[in-house]
Amino acid sequence: MSHSVTIEFDGSSHSVPEGITVIQAMWHLGRPMIHGVGCLGGVCGACTITMRSSSQTESQTALACQTMVEDSMALTFLPPDASKKVMTPLSADVADEKKMIHFYPETRRCVACQACTTICPQGIDVMEGVRAAINGEISAVAEKFTSCVMCGLCSMVCDARIRPHRVGIYARRLSVAAHPGSADQLFTRIDEINTGKYTEEWERVMSS
């Protein structure tokens, strides 16, 4: 016999099967999820929620595709990121510490409130990344934002209108431009795909 749990979603209680993710629970409830879902693998940042389980007194952010339903959990989906990305030509991507601040000058306005760090569903110390950007430490910024999924929550809560994730991804681009050899594994994987190493597995997944 399958068991069910009760979750509170946008203020109403719903019974859903246990052992499924929050996204799967939404499908179970008949919600098409045209917005708020993308990769289902924890990398696109589209499915951010705020949630609180019965054992918690404060809510936290999470990725709905990576979060299993629990009895008595309360959750709400968060809006998508609408922050503006600065367009910079790839040919201009040489590692120049002044560029981060040149393209994102508002970064200097950080008042060290920690709001961005507190809200990050990936547990990134976002504020430290912003401080490193102000100091022009490209590698440190790139390292800090390695697991960023670009959900944009850090930008939404920043009263100083800083876009930490945009600064983070730009530092990652600058970092790779400075050390192109570090992308060897990427080129190896592209070769493997082009020579058909994963074709059989891909067809198996697509036909299941």
Residues whose CB is less than 8 angstroms from the CB of residue 46 and which lie 6 or more positions away in sequence, other chains included: 35, 36, 37, 38, 39, 80, 151
For the CB of residue 198, give the shortest distance to ligand SF4 in the complex, in Å.
Answer: 28
36 binds ligand SF4 (CB under 6 A): no
39 binds ligand SF4 (CB under 6 A): no
Measure the CA–CA gap between 162 and 77, rounded to whole angstroms.
23
For the CB of residue 40, give the shortest distance to ligand FES in the complex, in Å.
Answer: 5
Selected binder of ligand SF4 within 22, 142, 158, 174 (CB under 6 A): 158
Query: Between 38 and 80, whose beta carbon lies closer to ligand FES?
Result: 38
DSSP 141-170: HHHHTTT-----HHHHT-TT---HHHHHHH
Given ligand FES, ligand SF4, none, residue 154, with its beta carbon under 5 to 8 Å by kind, binds: ligand SF4
* Contacts with ligand FES, residue ranges (CB under 6 A): 37-40, 42-47, 63, 65, 149
